[in-house]
Structure formats: structure tokens, C-alpha cells
Amino acid sequence: MKTNHKLSIVLSVLIGLIHILPFYLLITTSFKPMSDLSSKWSLPQTMDWSNFTSAWEGADLGRAFINNTVITVLSLMGIILIGACAAYPLSRFQTKLNKFVYLLFISTLIVPPLTILVPLYQFFIDIHGMNTYWGIVLLHVTFSLPMTIFLYTGFISSIPRELDEAAMMDGMSRFMLFFKMILPLLKPVTATVLIMTGVGIWNDYQFSVFFLQKVEMRTVTVALASFFGPNANRIGWVAAGSLLAALPATMMYLFMQRWFISGLASGSVKG
Amino acid sequence: MRPIRNSTFSLNLMYVPALLLFALFIYYPFFEGIKVSFTNWDGFNPTYSWVGFDNYARMLEDKNIGTVIRNTLIYGVGSTLFQNLIGLLYALLLNQSIRTRGLTRTIVYLPVIVSPLIMGYIWYFFFQYRGGALNDIILLFADKPVNLLADPQINIFIITFVNTFQYLGIAMVIYLAGLQSISKDYYEAASIDGASSLTKFFNVTLPLLAPSITINIVLNLIGGLKLFDVIIALTKGGPGFASQSLSTMMYKTYFGAQDAGYAAAMGNLMFFMIAIISIAALIYFRRKEIQA
């Protein structure tokens, strides 16, 4: 039993080392100047920050981070408001109609957005939604709603109906009671929704690369991808850019780990 | 009772905004896509003509489509297989009370938070031809570096590996949650019956993990079959069509070759492929759950 325990510790350390490896290489690469041709495995001689300034300016990451923040925050607001509202009648009144509507929402969970790219792209040109915040936000909201409605509907069903009835006895309307009584109770599931959909939107590339092609509208991933193309041989720049781009989400994850892991997992477990 | 009835119906107005968004950005484009796939539209010109099933017939004759569908399946099924096998092994290991488990879980899960595009670039540094980290090791034993990302036999498996590495953490966490929900009584009862740890695993752990297995498999299938970002970061689908998936080929056909009708047909193929495979997997594994 004792040796088994030791073996498990050794194995887990080994796994940890293997999985941290790409990040180690990313860090060593981003601190080495162009002239340093040493192996990526070796630590840099000096801490050279020039790659970071080159990447920050070259890919215009400052602007990209602002775009990412605006798009993510607006999308999350829309997702929570529209998602929670939609879930309330769907979980409280399971009429034939509502069951059908619920199915309409949930069935789209298996539709990868890319499969309808061609018509969606054309539709966006028609409604002048290309290169706009509102366009990309509406897309993110729509494609995050199936999971959001699924999570909220499940959670609201677990809130006793007696609460609604008691509030209505007191003369509250259904709408009032939703906003005053139900909405505040949704905090735990809202945290899950925020993290699950937030990570996806912040890291999105598939939508952004198609619908945000103007330079000043680029998000972090799009900016980085277009920076990578012409600078593929300046590996230090690309590494530094990737590190900068990955940093905010990673930091948030490390500080709020519990939330992130349970959030992403519980969402997928129920999905 | 009447007033309450009315109010319940008007409450349905609360899902109208969501319904509207779905209609505009999912259902309308979906049907429009079916329509476009029956035309020779180039994506720009307002004029186009109906070509019936030509785009679908073209697919049958396209010499690249076989490779592309094969790749899509390898990305989907391969990632699913490895994510589940390794994810389950990691979960079993890290479910024990060892001091290092928290840290290892954190590290294994980290790539889930990072954008797949960026993870793709990070692995590019590892596999790249000139100055790649892997080639530094290979050069210790051989005199020439190998261009793994340009090798059509190998790069599809590198892409599968990178996708597996990225989302392994989710499979692991779902299995961990599944393991923790299994009551210790079962194991005690099995011990009293003199079951070995291997018997316990196959007769207690695995059947009780069935719901986690179902979720993981369906989730990973959908994720792998629609793979896009990682391919763009590592090979852009090349050389030629060697590592192209349906999603990157559709992108190329639409924006590169300006062949919107054909791209739409490809999108529809991808939709039905993913829907059929994931629903079939869901039904199959749900049935197994009930038997277990």
C-alpha cells in the first residue's frame, strides 16, 4: 500500500510536468531575443522584454483587449437577461407549446455554428452587421443561449412553486415576482453560466475571424492570427503575443479555480 | 381562473426575445443554407441559377472530399478515444488522496481556459521544423530535423493530439465528479465478497460511471468533428488537403474559391454528419447506461 501511494505521487508529478511543458517552452521562447538561437529547452540568459513590446504594438493587442472586453461583457449581459427570462415560463408552465419551444432551443446544442457559415455571412452583410459590436454580440448571445436556457430551466425547476404562489397571494404579478424573487436566487447558476459562456466568448476565433475583419475591430485571437502570418519566422514575437493573449484568462482561472472547474464541468455534465 | 390563465400565457412573452434571436441567426440561415446549396452562387453576385443536386454530385466526384471526411472522422473519433481513456486514467489517479493531486489537476485543466488557437501556436513551437523543441531532441539522435507538420501521414495525428491535450481536463473533471458520486458502500460490499481491485473497477466503478462516459463521449465527438482553430494554427489544412477537415475546407471553398453554393452543401453535409453521429452515440450509450 505504501509503495502504491509513492508511485501515485511520482506519476502525478510526472503528469504535471508533461502538461506544463508547452507553457514552459512558451515562456523561454518569449524571453529570448531574435539573435539567441539556443534551444527552446534552455532558459534565456537575460530577461529580454523586447518581444513583448514588439508583439503588443505589432498585433495592436491593446485595441484587441478593449474589443474583447466590450464584446464579452455585452454578450454576457445579454445572455443572462435573455436566458433567465426565457427559462422562467419554460420551467413553470410546461404546456405542449412550451415543451415544443424548449425543444427548439435545446436541439440547437448540436448545431456547430460553422455549418451555417455561408448563409449567416450573407445575412450579416444584408443587415450591415459586419464589423460591428452589436453584430458579433448578437451572434455570441444566440449561440450561448441553448446551454444557458438549459441550465436556468433546470435550476428554476428546483425552486419550489410555493414561493411563486406565496408571492402572488401578496399581490405580486408574475413579472414582478420573477425579477424580485426568482432572479436573486439564480446567483449560483449564473456564476456557472458566466464562466462557461464567458471563456468561450473571450477565446472565440471562429466567429470573430469571419465577422470582425476590420483591423480596428479585431479581437485578441484574430489580431494574433493575422500577426502570426507575416511573422512566422520571428518566433519570439509570436510566443510573446500568445503569452500576453493567454494571460488574463489564465490569471482569472488561477485565482478563481474552484469556480472555473465546477462551472465548466457542471455545465458539461448536464449538457 | 381566467385571469391567471391569461397571465400565464402573456408570461410566455418572456421567451420571445430568445426565440427571435434563434429564428434570425440559426433557423433562417439553416434553411437559407439548404437553398444556397442548390445554386451556383459565388457569394457576391446578386445573380445565380438553380443547379439542383449538382453541388452534392460534385462532392461525390471531388477527389479531396474522401481525405477531408476521413480527417474529420479521425479528429472526432480519435480525440474522443484519447480524451476518455487518458481522462479516466488521470481521474482514477487523482481521485486518490495524494498531496500533489490539486496541483496536477490545476495544470491538466489549464489549457481548457486558453484559446484553442493560442494552444495551437504553442504546440507549433514544439513541432515546428526549424528550431522546434521536438527537433532539438531528434537532432541528438539523427543528423536531420524532421518536418512533422508537413508530413500528411503524421500531422493529422498531431492535430488530434493537440485537441486531446486541450480538452483532456474537461473529461478528467467529469470523471472525477462521477467517481466522487459513487458510494463507498459498493466498494466495501465488493471487498467483503473478496473482489480484487480489477474486478471492483470493471464491476463497480465502470458501470456506475456510465452517465459520465455518455456525456464525455458525446461532448468530445461534437468538439472533435467541428475542429477548426487548431488546424488553422498548426497546418492551415495543408499540405494541400492533407490535414483539412470539413470545417476548414468549407472555409477555403467559400472565401478562397468563392464557391458559395458548394461551400453551403459542405456545411449541410457537416451538419448532418455531426447530428447523426452524436445522436447515435447518445442513444447507444444511454441504452448501455440503463442495462448497467
**Interacting residues of B135 by C-beta distance below 8 A, sequence separation 6+:** B128, B129, B145, B146
Lowest mean pLDDT among A36-50, A91-105, A195-209, B273-287: A36-50
The C-alpha atoms of residue A43 and residue B269 are separated, in whole angstroms, by: 48
Please name the amino acid found at residue A13: V
In sequence order, the β-bridge partners of residue B50 are B39
CA distance A237 to chain B (A): 12
Burial class (CB in 10 A: 0-12, 13-18, 19+), A185: middle
pLDDT of residue A101: 93
CA distance B217 to chain A (A): 11
The C-alpha atoms of residue B262 and residue B54 are separated, in whole angstroms, by: 9
Mean pLDDT, rounded, of chain B: 88
Structural domains for chain A: 65-270 (1.10.3720.10)
**Over residues B180-192, mean pLDDT:** 86
Q: Which helix (H) or strand (E) holds A153?
A: helix A133-157
- Overall size of chain B counted in residues: 292
Domain assignments of chain B as residue spans, ordered by start: 63-291
Residue by residue, DSSP assigns A182-246 as: IHHHTHHHHHHHHHHHHHHHHT--HHHHHH--SGGG--HHHHHHHHHTTTTT-HHHHHHHHHHHH
The C-alpha atoms of residue B292 and residue B276 are separated, in whole angstroms, by: 24
pLDDT of residue A269: 44
The C-alpha atoms of residue B202 and residue B193 are separated, in whole angstroms, by: 15
Looking at beta carbons, which residues of chain A come within 8 Å of B232? 205, 225
For the domain covering B63-291, report its CATH number: 1.10.3720.10
**Over residues B179-186, mean pLDDT:** 86
Interchain CB contact of A123 with B (< 8 Å): yes
Does the pLDDT at position A77 exceed 50? yes
Model-level pTM? 0.89
Angle of helix A50-58 relative to helix A235-255, nearest 10 degrees, comes to 90
A132-189 pLDDT, tens digit per residue, is 999 999 999 999 999 899 989 988 988 888 888 888 888 888 888 888 889 999 988 8
**Over residues B44-63, mean pLDDT:** 84
Please name the amino acid found at residue B84: N
Does the pLDDT at position A271 exceed 50? no
Interchain CB contact of A24 with B (< 8 Å): no
CA distance B1 to chain A (A): 14
Q: Within a 10 A sphere around the Cβ of A78, how many other Cβ atoms?
A: 21
**ipTM for the complex?**
0.86
**Over residues B139-159, mean pLDDT:** 88
Alpha-carbon distances, residue A265 vs A196, A220, B52, B94 (angstroms):
9, 25, 45, 16
Task: Tell me if A123 and B28 make a contact (CB, 8 A cut-off).
Answer: yes
